[in-house]
Structure 1
Amino acid sequence: MELYQILNELDQAEDVHLGRILILLNEFSQGKREKKIEGLTKLAKLDFLLRYPLYLERALIARRKSTKNVQILPHEKDSVESKMVRYKYGPWDFRYRKFINILIGLGLAYYEQEGKRINIGITPKGKEYAEKLLQTHSFDDVRRRAKLVKTNFDLSATSLMKFIYQTFPEIGSLDLGKEIQHEN
């Protein structure tokens, strides 16, 4: 199998993306009142931080927060999954709508229309599935980092977007589809 085929198959592993997004939605639903993520753009920016721990670490440093719970593993520094690709709107995977629609279709998430914005939440069935995923320990890093993302980056969508582009100016300066180089 050629390298491009291997890379393509890794990126097509939608179950991993769905699981990560479900855990993110679950983490944001924790607390005294159920909380939804306000808009696909905010979801994409939060998931960017969750999906790419090297960027999460840089974001925490920019906010003068502790990075000890990021716990970047050696294989995450140079793996295919650690490489961020610039999509149309920066760290926005064009498949987010598809992922959310799959989660909604499976009864694991829901959305509410609020003007032009779509708020995304997790259903009781989704919470149950997220907890099952978390019991496997395969998602321990995702859980720990999702907590960091919620604790430190639960900002308004506009504030989060501005923070991301100020902290990572390289995101907006590359051609579409190009890998964004990160600092190790």
Structure 2
Amino acid sequence: MAKLDFFTRYPDFFEAARAAIDNTTATSAPTVDAVESSMVRHHYGPWDKRYYQVLGVLEAKQLIAVTKHKQSYQIALSPMGKERAKALAAKPSFQDLVARQREVKKAFGSKSGTFLKDLIYRLFDQEVGKRTLGQVITP
């Protein structure tokens, strides 16, 4: 989840990573000029310290369900969460974000967290991998 969020928040990194796995050239300008909410370097890649808080609130409001599967946690929208997400996605103010998330899902949605972590560290070693833990990631 965090790695897909990273590619949503950092469109330049997304375009470079997509081009690297597709063996194509990155497209020109991203749809967003600046990163709205930065992430930090964590042990396993980009991270947002607010995840635990946000996920807890979403679960308490019954918008997501969190289940443990082997050594990982599965996060899924609840039926009410799907309804709310669909309503937000239909709003014009969210169209750019929805389009970008669809592109991220298409390119990386089937990849494992380990694959994405390794890809991020390989392609963005200076911007992510070489940062100290907790340091903000900048494009």
Q: TM-score, normalised by structure 2?
A: 0.83
Partner of residue 116, structure 2: 160
Q: Helix, strand or coil: the match of 2:104?
A: helix
Q: Does 1:180 align with 2:111?
A: no
Structure with greater helix share of residues: 1
Deviation at 1:179, TM superposition (A): 4.0
1:57 partner letter:
E
> Of 80, 102, 121, which aligns to 1:147?
102
1:91 to 29, 42, 46: 46
* Distance (Å, rounded) in 2 between the aligned partners of 1:95 and 1:162: 23
Q: Alignment length, in residue pairs? A: 135
Query: Counterpart in 2 of 1:60?
Result: 18
Question: Structure 2 vs 1, CA of residues 133 and 50 (structure 1 numbering), >3 Å: closer, same or farther?
Answer: same
Instruction: Give the unaligned 5+ runs of structure 2.
Output: none
Q: Identical aligned pairs, as a percentage?
A: 34
SS in 2 for 1:121: strand
For residues 125 and 85 of structure 1, the distance between their equivalents in structure 2, rounded to whole angstroms, comes to 28
Q: CA RMSD in A?
A: 2.3
SS at match of 2:84: helix
CA distance in structure 2 between the partners assigned to 1:45 and 1:119 by the alignment: 15
Q: Which residue of 2 aligns with 1:121?
A: 76
Determine helix, strand or coil for the equivalent of 2:92.
coil
- Note the alpha carbon deviations across 1:110-153, whole angstroms, 9 max, x for none: 01111231111111100110111112111111111111111110
Q: Give the TM-score of the pair, scaled to structure 1.
A: 0.64
Find the aligned partners of 2:89 and 2:133 in 1 and give their Cα distance. 34
Go from structure 1 to structure 2 and tell me whether the alpha carbon gap of 1:181 and 1:98 turns closer, same or farther (over 3 Å shift). Answer: closer
For the Cα contact (< 8 Å) 1:108–1:122, is it kept in 2? yes
What CA distance in whole angstroms lies between the structure 2 residues aligned with 1:88 and 1:179? 10
Equivalent residue for 2:2? 44
Write out the 4+ residue segments of structure 1 that deviate beyond 6 Å after TM superposition: none
Quick check: 1:86–1:175 contact (8 Å CA) kept in 2?
no
Counterpart-to-counterpart distance in 2, 1:136 and 1:81: 19
